[in-house]
Amino acid sequence: MRSQQFSEWVFVFLLVGIIVFSGIVIALMFNLSRKENLKTGERWMLGAIILGIVAAVIIGAMQMLAGYLF
């Protein structure tokens, strides 16, 4: 039972890290002081980062539900 509580806190830490990281990505995407629009490569990069964030949340949630997050 103690292991499950540890896994839950690891998942919470994962979510906090993802929220902070997502905030940085969103701030980069919608930076109003930028003079020109995002380049095509930057759009692809930020899209890949967002997909990676979604995949990390899904994999972490599935592992926590299965009982072996860490």
Nearest to 27 by CA among 12, 49, 9: 49
Instruction: State pLDDT tens for residues 10-57.
Output: 778 878 888 888 888 888 777 767 777 778 888 888 889 888 888 888
Predicted model pTM: 0.63
At 32 the pLDDT is 66
Cβ of 17: how many Cβ atoms within 10 Å? 12
Confidence of residue 68 (pLDDT cuts 50, 70, 90): low
Give the integer Cα–Cα distance in Å for 16 and 39. 29
At 14 the pLDDT is 79
pLDDT at 70 over 60: no
Give the integer Cα–Cα distance in Å for 68 and 65. 8
Q: Using the CB atoms, write b or e for 18-57: b if 16+ within 10 Å.
A: beeeeeeeeeeeeeeeeeeeeeeeeeeeeeebeeebeeee
